[in-house]
């Protein structure tokens, strides 16, 4: 009996941690859809709230998501930096550039509002030797978001 109560309490506490803005979205399905479309050890996707930029969902490891990478304008930035910019501006970003001196690796950035959710924006970064352009990552993420009902058409 105690074990059943403890399990129920744990389930309720975890459900309470689920962000209200993602209610109705199957989080494991969202992660699976992102993984199937842009999943790679060098990929991070953040979903945040418009205005504040507070992260409500993260796909990717702490290391991958915390890296400072070339911003393709001579500076470097983290993905959280891009999420915060996008949360305020709601302007799409799709850019790619070399991330290694020899040009053998590239970084691609994609960010923008999540259609049909005025309160949500996303930011994604992928870095590696076979990285697609930022616009391709944005398109693939739109498809992943649609697949799990985050974008409703």
86-144 pLDDT, tens per residue?
999 999 999 999 999 999 999 999 999 999 889 999 999 999 999 999 999 999 999 99
Task: Using the predicted structure, report yes or no on whether residue 51 has a pLDDT greater than 80.
Answer: yes
pLDDT of residue 152: 86
Task: Using the predicted structure, report yes or no on whether residue 16 has a pLDDT greater than 60.
Answer: no
Task: Using the predicted structure, report yes or no on whether residue 148 has a pLDDT greater than 50.
Answer: yes
Task: Using the predicted structure, report yes or no on whether residue 17 has a pLDDT greater than 60.
Answer: no
d(CA 27, CA 39): 15
d(CA 68, CA 73): 13
Task: Using the predicted structure, report yes or no on whether residue 52 has a pLDDT greater than 70.
Answer: yes
pLDDT-above-90 percentage for the chain? 79
* Mean pLDDT to the nearest integer, 6-20: 40
Task: Using the predicted structure, report yes or no on whether residue 25 has a pLDDT greater than 70.
Answer: yes
pTM of the model: 0.86
Task: Using the predicted structure, report yes or no on whether residue 9 has a pLDDT greater than 50.
Answer: no
Task: Using the predicted structure, report yes or no on whether residue 6 has a pLDDT greater than 60.
Answer: no
**106-115 burial by CB neighbour count: b if 16+ within 10 A, else e?**
bbbbbbbbbe
For residue 34, give the nearest of 23, 42, 45, 26 by alpha carbon. 45
């Amino acid at each position: 009996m105690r074990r059943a109560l403890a399990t129920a309490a744990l389930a309720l506490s975890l459900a309470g941690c689920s962000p209200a803005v993602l209610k109705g979205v199957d989080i494991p399905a969202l992660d699976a859809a992102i993984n199937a479309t842009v999943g790679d050890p060098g990929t991070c996707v953040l979903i945040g709230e418009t205005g504040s930029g507070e992260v409500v969902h993260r796909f990717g490891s702490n290391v991958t998501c915390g890296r400072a990478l070339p911003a393709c304008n001579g500076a470097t930035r983290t993905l959280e930096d891009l999420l915060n910019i996008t949360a305020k501006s709601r302007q799409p970003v799709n850019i790619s550039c070399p991330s290694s001196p020899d040009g053998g690796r590239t970084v691609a950035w994609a960010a923008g509002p999540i259609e049909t959710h005025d309160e949500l924006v996303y930011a994604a970064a992928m870095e590696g030797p076979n990285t697609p352009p930022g616009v391709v990552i944005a398109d693939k993420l739109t498809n992943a978001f649609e697949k799990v009902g985050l974008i409703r058409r």
